[in-house]
Amino acid sequence: MVKISYFTNLGTSAYAAISRQQDDLFASLAAQFVTMMDILQSVRVYSNDHQDLSPLDAYDLWNETQSIRAFHLLTHGRSANPVTSIVQNVSDKGSTFKK
């Protein structure tokens, strides 16, 4: 499975690549890509064919992109806040495992 951060980085870098100036439309879209993604997902909820993000999907989205909308879905009506996951690869005699 491909992480959402791959697609976020792809979209951000695509807009940045076609930008001709620091302050043109494409530079703004590159800088605000996650915000634009949040807006489009918010509108998508109103479609009859799509459900909102599951808690696990919201966590993955927030953890990888710092999506404000995903954070709101995780914390709305709850007294707890999510914690970012930190995974370190540790080399042990040529093998890699997660610590």
So what's the pLDDT on residue 82?
77
pLDDT, one tens digit per residue, over 30-47 is: 999 999 999 988 888 787
77 Ramachandran zone, left/alpha/beta (phi>0; psi -120 to 50): left
Confidence of residue 86 (pLDDT cuts 50, 70, 90): low
Residue 35: give the domain boundaries: 4-98
pLDDT, one tens digit per residue, over 11-27 is: 999 999 999 888 899 99
Instruction: Please calculate the CA angle 35-10-43 and round it to the nearest 5 degrees.
Output: 35
Tokens of 79: 């007294």
87 has a pLDDT exceeding 60:
no
Number of domains making up the chain:
1
Q: How far is CA 12 from CA 35, 46, 80, 93, in A?
A: 11, 26, 31, 37
5-14, 29-38, 79-88 — which is least confidently predicted? 79-88
